[in-house]
Chain A
């Protein structure tokens, strides 16, 4: 029987069905068409990027002897749900831990607060970096330890006992580094100091990745699109340092028991031949698991062995600085080669006195450098600062002076390819105006002899030597000679000309030659080649610092060197002989027997610094 009375209700029911479907289609449109967030969340769910680490580049010295290499290490991994019937006692003995340590470790892995990515289906780190021996034993027994696996990782090993400051080290990235550079993820290794840090981008290579599909339980189900989007890792580039490992070793031996630095530069190229910072440490201490503990220990050491004094230490340059003053006065026409200044055991004027040692006076520039006459250079600066015909004010005079100093590479970072370089201090007019208010030449006169406000890094002193060796220019000092399959940064190859003409440099070089032949640097003389040198004895609160700057041979120089020994006394006491040995080793390729004996003697001469922290 037809029921026509309520037939209209078929439209109500049909309407309900239509309304439901329309509602759902609108909802679908919202979910699928307007919001990209669901897509990325689905990708986060499903894609597991398995990172493949490239081999880090190895490091060689300038003669291609190996300094740093990689060694495989193994992490013990565990998949919790596969662990069964474990002979815990045997396991603990094999990997060399106690039952208690085992239990603690397992508990830490399972604790989601400490291990947020925990899944019973995936590999969890049980023990990092086991040694090769442990690896051998463990691998033999592994079939008995269900659920335990080995994961290969490389650790950095050192083939040398030297060069710690130069080479630096690698360690796990900090969270700040991860934040700064999206290349890194927690657990990656990164160069922390030295060349490892400054050449991180070249050494690390590029990580590869396999895009894997991961199911809801964290298990891997295969490659996404059969590996279409996978990337192979690009190995890191090998690096050749400009360092001569033998020279470096000699330098480090000579500086044993002392604080200070040696820097040697090949003047023509700006390549650093050796860079010693004392006290130093054995780079092996930074290998593998022990790094953290060793770092802590060294950071607590009052002698600060981690500090690279060659580039981070700033010292008064003392008399080595006089060469730069002579050059400035010559170029500015304050003096000529024949201008002579008096020196009656120093510079005396208007109650101001800068002492000097006994020598003939008055004397012109070349002998003044040879005898390291304080009076001469004080008078030179005095006349320069008070020359009102040339400079309207003393401020203008000191600004001119400062510009000369900056052109020689002082007061700013030289731009060496190592982290942590200090800029030293060259005062300018502004500085004196603020510090002293109203001031005159007498008040600042000690900067003429490398004292007072002036400080330089040992690298800047060595670079001064290189500039004089080149007679007026320098190449940015750098530590890396060659990058395999890459190029050095242009900034490391730039030729910097100073504001002083070549002819004046020749005069200063002659003065330095005279110092070696008959002046303060006699100890640096070598019959086989012509050495130029300049001593420095820098006053400070404690005993004087002993400094030396020199280069050899005088014509066609192969090496420029700076030696700085804290509290070593006269420049001739430590600076000159150490500098002489460095030059001999490099130029001759070896030390004569007499020099070897001398080297051994200096190695054993330690300076007592007490327990003071520097």
Chain B
């Protein structure tokens, strides 16, 4: 009797809004797959012979999977979280060895004759569960070095295994968990350091070969050093509120740099960056001094940040020189330093043509020439957003992004209403994974982020990814449905 009431209560508590958004995305995705996979010799969109027909089967089975997941109680995940995690890690490790070579990666496990699955797509939920379980533990403190170390270890292990499968793109997705950790209280400076490093890299690389007029000063080097000063001083201001120290450092560094610039312009042109490095070192020394004087660990961390910032340009520059040619070209093309429309930039270039030719309302369903005629490689999987852009135009592609934004907003709302840490951690993990996929996948098609082969959830063709995302999402929806039940 009680059980029945419970089920009824759960049914009423299901977040139908998320499910609605989920169904919209899957249906919308199917229409895009139709455009991307159109076969002139077999125009039947529902035939098992075509990818669009198969995608219907994947979507149907996903709905069955979703319904089944709604029947599994949360306590089962709670009790099996670590075992599931260990099992998935073993599976990932085994995959490295037994998976056949598929385009250079060892990540696909054949099941039977025609179906293959990619364990990496299914490992995410187990990591999210394990993290939830870990952080739900009584007395877990994210400020505690050991506690956060464990969490990071749980994230890094599958990353390493997936990198070993030569699926670097899928491994990078696990960085999404750091966003979740930030919500749970990890210091924001870590995220900021990551952001600063990416900015240094992009700016430094892109402008390393351009020079300020009439001066032997590389714009890239100059800007990175200037940013290093700015960020460091900013951190001292934000985290230590030491107005005096900020004044001293700002006047010295910016004043000194300005004087050096004037000298270089009007007297003898020389590389101002040497002077700037000098001022950076002075600044680092000053902050270390402050650290010793005040016995505050923050000054030490800021000093560390300043050291990383100052040396970052020189370290990446020398590492960059040592990269393989194809990797270096990929980065250079992405940063717009090289134009290579037939080689490394071909995908992105054709993707931009596809999207750009869509205009405001697009060319109409199945009328996209660029996608229908296979100009964009991987267009039904990683580059599926091209089809949306070409056939549905600005209205359609902006629409997809807005639906995604609603979806992510809804996940945040649902995660925040979880009564326990496990639910919230899991919910944020789910939301961050979707956000990361959206960010990288759409950014890559638009030519804004590196070409990393990860799918756009619910749009990209393929059973593994669709099932993987369904699994991830519906475990969370079931957890959420139990939010009003008293914990036993």
Residues of chain A whose beta carbon lies under 8 Å from any beta carbon of chain B: 1-3, 5-7, 9-10, 12-14, 16-18, 20-21, 23-25, 27-29, 31-33, 35, 37-39, 41-43, 45-47, 213-217, 221-222
Contacts of B397 in A (CB 8 A): 28, 32
Which residues in window 173-196 of B have CB below 8 A to A?
179, 182-185, 188
Asked if residues A18 and B358 are in contact (CB atoms below 8 Å), the reply is no
- B373–A46 touching, CB < 8 Å: yes
Name the residue of chain A whose CB is nearest to the CB of B424.
Answer: A3
In Å, the complex CA distance between A42 and B419 comes to 52
Contact A213-B179, Cβ < 8 Å, known A20-B435, A21-B404? no
Bits for B426-458, please: 1 = Cβ < 8 Å to A, else 0. 001001100100110011001010000000000
How many B residues, CB 8 Å from partner? 53
Instruction: Give B424 Cβ to nearest chain A Cβ, in Å.
Output: 7
CA distance A216 to B377 in the complex (A): 9
User: What residues of chain A lie closer than 8 Å to B356, measured between beta carbons?
Assistant: 31-32, 35, 37-39, 41-42
Contact of B360 among A17, A33, A42, A213 (CB under 8 A): A33
The interface residues of chain A lying within 8 Å CB-to-CB of B421 are 1, 3
Please tell me if the beta carbons of B369 and A38 are within 8 angstroms of each other in the complex. Answer: no
Asked if residues B435 and A31 are in contact (CB atoms below 8 Å), the reply is no
Q: Tell me the smallest distance from the CB of A416 to a CB of chain B, in Å.
A: 50
- B interface SS class: helix
- CB atoms of A5 and B369 under 8 A apart: no
Closest chain A residue to B38, Cβ basis: A221
- Give chain A residues whose Cβ lies under 8 Å from the Cβ of B370: 42, 45-46
A13 touches B179 (CB 8 A): yes
Cross-chain contact of A31 among B136, B355, B369 (Cβ < 8 A): B355
Which residues of B325-353 are within 8 A (CB) of A? Answer: 350, 352-353
Q: Which residues of B contact A35 (CB under 8 A)?
A: 356
Within the assembled complex, what's the spacing in Å between the Cα atoms of A214 and B40?
Answer: 11
The CA of A47 and the CA of B41, in the complex, are separated in Å by 18
Which residue of chain A lies nearest to B425 when distances are taken between CB atoms in the complex? A3
The reply to whether the CB of B22 lies closer than 8 angstroms to some CB of chain A is no
B352 touches A9 (CB 8 A): no
Q: B387 CB to closest chain A CB, in angstroms?
A: 13
**B49 interface residue, CB < 8 Å from A?**
no
Bound Cα distance from A221 to B438, whole angstroms: 33
Q: Is B402 an interface residue (CB 8 A)?
A: yes
Bound-complex Cα distance A17 to B437 (A)? 12
Contact B183 A9 (CB under 8 A): yes
| Closest chain A CB from B443 CB (angstroms) | 7
The answer to whether B369 touches A45, judged by C-beta atoms less than 8 angstroms apart, is yes
Contact B416 A10 (CB under 8 A): yes
User: A17 CA to B412 CA in the complex, in Å?
Assistant: 11
Which residues of chain B (446-473) have a CB below 8 Å from chain A? 446, 448
Task: Please count the residue pairs between chain A and chain B whose beta carbons lie under 8 angstroms apart in the complex.
Answer: 133
Residues of B within 8 A of A (CB): 40, 136, 179, 182-185, 188, 350, 352-360, 369-370, 372-375, 389-390, 393-394, 397-398, 401-402, 404-405, 408-409, 412, 415-416, 419-421, 424, 428, 431-432, 435, 438-439, 442-443, 446, 448
CA–CA, A216 and B404, complex, Å:
31
When distances are taken between beta carbons in the complex, the residues of chain B under 8 Å from A14 are 408-409, 412
Tell whether, in the assembled complex, residue A17 and residue B435 are in contact, meaning their CB atoms are under 8 Å apart. yes
CA distance A216 to B184 in the complex (A): 49
Q: Are B359 and A33 in contact (CB under 8 A)?
A: yes
Which residue of chain A is the closest to B395 with respect to CB atoms? Answer: A32
The reply to whether A213 and B394 form a contact with Cβ atoms under 8 Å apart is no
Q: Which B residue's beta carbon lies closest to that of A20? A: B439
CA distance A506 to B443 in the complex (A): 92
Q: Which residues of A sit under 8 angstroms from B420, Cβ to Cβ?
A: 1
CB < 8 Å neighbour of A41 from B357, B405, B446: B357
How far does the Cβ of A313 sit from chain B's closest Cβ, in whole Å?
56
Complex partner residue of A6 from B184, B398, B412, CB under 8 angstroms: B184
Q: Check B401–A21 contact: CB distance below 8 A.
A: yes
Chain A residues with CB below 8 A from B428, complex form: 13
Nearest residue (CB) in A for B415 is A10
- Min distance, Cβ B202 to any Cβ of chain A, angstroms: 15
| Other-chain contact of A25, B183, B372, B398 (Cβ < 8 Å) | B398
Q: Are A32 and B439 in contact (CB under 8 A)?
A: no
Bound together, the chains give a CA A12 to CA B358 distance in angstroms of 33
Instruction: Indicate if the CB atoms of A13 and B419 lie closer than 8 Å.
Output: no
| Cross-chain contact B355 with A214 (CB below 8 angstroms) | no
Quick one: given A14-B409, A27-B448, A42-B353, are A213 and B373 in contact (CB under 8 Å)? yes
How many Å from the CB of A512 to the closest CB on chain B? 74
With A and B bound together, what is the CA distance between A221 and B424 in angstroms? 52
Interface contact B438-A20, CB-CB below 8 Å: yes
Select which of B359, B404, B416, B435 is within 8 A of A39 by beta carbon.
B359
Which residues of chain A are near B424, meaning CB under 8 Å?
3
**Do the beta carbons of A42 and B183 come within 8 Å of each other?**
no
- Determine if B412 and A10 form an interchain contact, defined as CB atoms under 8 angstroms apart: yes
A5, B185: Cβ atoms under 8 Å? yes
Q: Within 8 Å CB of B401, what residues of A?
A: 21, 24-25, 28
Check A32–B185 contact: CB distance below 8 A.
no
B353 with A28: CB separation less than 8 A: no
A17 and B408 form a contact (CB under 8 A): yes
Contact B369 A17 (CB under 8 A): no
Provide the residues of chain B in CB contact with A5, threshold 8 Å: 185
Partner of A45, one of B352, B373, B389: B373
- Complex: A467 Cα to B239 Cα, angstroms: 108
Tell me if A42 and B354 are in contact (CB < 8 A): yes
| Interfacial chain A residues near B431, Cβ < 8 Å | 13
- Complex formed: what's the CA distance from A41 to B375 in Å? 12
Closest beta carbon of chain B to A510's beta carbon, Å: 79
* A28-B389, A41-B353 known, 11 other contacts, Cβ within 8 Å: A1-B421, A3-B421, A7-B416, A14-B409, A35-B356, A37-B356, A38-B355, A41-B357, A42-B390, A45-B353, A213-B369
B180's nearest neighbour on chain A, judged by CB, is A13
Q: How far is the CA of A220 from the CA of B389 in the complex (A)?
A: 24
- A38 and B408 form a contact (CB under 8 A): no
B363 CB, nearest partner CB in chain A, Å: 9
Q: Looking across the interface, which residue of chain A has its beta carbon closest to that of B421? A: A1
Q: Considering the chains assembled together, what is the distance between the CA atoms of A37 and B349 in angstroms?
A: 12
Chain B residue numbers with a CB within 8 Å of A216 are 373-375
In this complex, what residue of B is CB-closest to A44? B353
Looking at the complex, which one of B394, B405, B409, B439 makes contact with A28 (CB distance below 8 Å)? B394
Min CB gap B40→A, angstroms: 5
Query: Across chains A and B, which 9 residue pairs bring their CB atoms closest together, nearest first?
Result: A38-B356, A46-B369, A42-B357, A215-B373, A32-B394, A31-B356, A39-B357, A221-B40, A21-B405
Shortest Cβ distance from B445 into chain A, in angstroms?
9
Residue of B whose beta carbon sits closest to that of A221: B40
Cβ contacts under 8 Å, B374 to chain A = 215-217
Assuming A3-B424, A16-B435, A216-B374, is B446 touching A24 (CB within 8 A)? yes
B412–A13 touching, CB < 8 Å: yes
Of the candidates B182, B354, B359, B375, the one whose C-beta lies within 8 Å of that of A9 is B182
Q: Could you say which of A16, A20, A28, A46 contacts B375, with CB atoms under 8 Å apart?
A: A46
Q: How far is the CA of A29 from the CA of B442 in the complex (A)?
A: 14
* Residues of the A chain whose Cβ atoms lie less than 8 Å from the Cβ of B402: 21
Residue pair B373, A18 in contact (C-beta under 8 Å): no
Give chain B residues whose Cβ lies under 8 Å from the Cβ of A20.
435, 438-439, 443
B contact residues around A32 at 8 Å (CB) = 355-356, 358-360, 389, 393-394, 397
| B358 cross-chain contacts in A, Cβ below 8 A | 32
The answer for the CA separation of A430 and B435 in the assembled complex, in Å, is: 87
Is there contact, CB below 8 Å, between A45 and B438? no
Interface centre among B360, B373, B389 (most CB of A within 10 A): B373
CB proximity of A239 to chain B, nearest CB, Å: 42
CB atoms of A28 and B355 under 8 A apart: yes
**A35, B352: Cα distance in complex, Å:** 11
Q: Which residues of A contact B179 (CB under 8 A)?
A: 13, 16
Closest chain B CB from A474 CB (angstroms): 60
Which among B185, B352, B409, B442 is the interface contact of A24 at CB below 8 angstroms?
Answer: B442
| Docked pose: A300 CA to B299 CA in angstroms | 92
26 pairs, CB–CB < 8 Å, chain A vs chain B = A3-B184, A6-B183, A10-B416, A12-B188, A13-B183, A13-B432, A13-B435, A17-B408, A20-B435, A20-B438, A20-B439, A28-B398, A31-B389, A31-B446, A32-B360, A32-B393, A38-B352, A42-B353, A42-B357, A43-B357, A43-B369, A45-B369, A45-B373, A213-B372, A213-B373, A214-B373
